[in-house]
Amino acid sequence: MSAVTAESRVAFHRLIVRPHDDDPEIAVVGRPEIGEFVELPAVYGAAITLMAADLSVGAVRRRMAEVHHVEIDLAELVEALSALGFIASIEGDPLPDPAADVPPSHFHRLTERHVAWLFSPPVKALWLVVVAAALLTLATRDELVPVYAHFFWSDYVGLTVLVNTVMMSASISVHELMHLAAARSLGARGRIGFGTRLHNLVVQTDVTGVWGLPRRSRYRVYLAGPAWDVFVIASVILVAAHAPLPEVVRAVLQALALAVLMAIPFQLQVYMRTDLYYVLCELLRTRNLFGDGIAYARYLRTRILDTLRRRPPSVTDPTAGLAPHARRATRVYSLFLVGGATVALTAFGLFTAPIVIGTLLRALEGLTGGSALAALDSGLLLLVEGGIQILFIVTFVRSHPRLLRRAQPGRPLT
């Protein structure tokens, strides 16, 4: 990187510089293309804006002293912004661009004009009408209220699981597309992929670029997926109640409503990074509730161990530097995080894992112990459930490469 002098001119990549949602003395500066955002003092944001207007470093320094009455080490600021990948060149000397290593956004041809209508007042009004009509229908047709029996619309369990999984996968895909469409309607990029949450395989949308948007706009992105789920359930209930359908089609639709409904409680498990976790972060005005909560839980664990061993404290409180409201929220959330994760993993070990293993073993027995149709049904069950478990393992390994490195003998811990 070229040395920064008073005569230097700095060329930036396209940046977002906006006021912080809660503190006017802080600016949010970020580059959406690489998903990198930082919070800086507002005067630094003003300096970046002036440098981006092609003023020399010296001219910006003088302007900041005259207008804001502050002295800023712009050379140090430029160095830090260069490390973040925010600067394109200094005095015409190009800098390495990390954007070359960033995967392209999915559906990059999708623009705001294609999807903005999905979040317009008429569409919101339609959503309210459909949901209200479904609630009124359920009040008078209690046989349409989703129950567990609706899942088994066929005597063939493998066929039932296969069809239900296909329908649920389609709904999940649209759920994530709604997140991406909401982000794109606001000019933010996004990518869809697989991830894991504790023992769950999930489809997730990376919309880091929404940090360049004000809080009110971010709510749209977080709630777009759950809003789709509610709309699907309501629409299916209305179709099943009022359309002249064959009984098997009505049964399949009721299974779809149940499957989508079963996904909604998962969003309420905010001890994981679900859609509603991000809504909770915004409501509590916190930046990284999950990461700070884990850090505080580890701090408490170490403090307890130090006390039991009668040692002086060996760690400092990681929440000490947070704002008072964020500190209180993080400390409460950390307890909820540990408790929720413990209950979820315990339930998985005691119930979910044995059920899945038992189901797969019975399916293996069914391949050879019955009729051809029974064997085909067992094969379908193995294909679906076994495929999901294999996909979870592959995704988990890719998402947690450090676990494999730690397992290698002689490899230093990092």
Return the pLDDT at 358: 83
Return the pLDDT at 1: 62
Single-letter amino acid, residue 148: Y
Q: How many CB atoms lie within 10 A of CB 118?
A: 17
C-alpha to C-alpha distance for 10 and 89, rounded to whole angstroms? 6
Give whole-number Cα distances, 300 to 169, 294, 303, 307, 316, in Å.
Answer: 40, 10, 5, 10, 10
Return the pLDDT at 411: 35
pLDDT tens-place string over residues 343-366: 989 988 988 888 788 878 878 887
pLDDT tens-place string over residues 105-142: 888 888 898 999 999 999 999 999 999 999 999 999 98
Environment class of residue 49 by beta-carbon count within 10 Å: exposed (0-12), middle (13-18) or buried (19+)? Answer: middle
Return the pLDDT at 220: 96
Name residues of the chain where pLDDT drops below 70: 1-2, 369-370, 401-414
C-alpha to C-alpha distance for 3 and 78, rounded to whole angstroms? 10
Return the pLDDT at 370: 67
Return the C-alpha torsion angle 404, 409, 410, 414, nearest 10.
Answer: 30
Environment class of residue 265 by beta-carbon count within 10 Å: exposed (0-12), middle (13-18) or buried (19+)? Answer: exposed
C-alpha to C-alpha distance for 325 and 336, rounded to whole angstroms? 17
**pTM listed for this prediction:** 0.85
Report CA 177 to chain centroid distance, whole Å: 13
Return the pLDDT at 294: 95
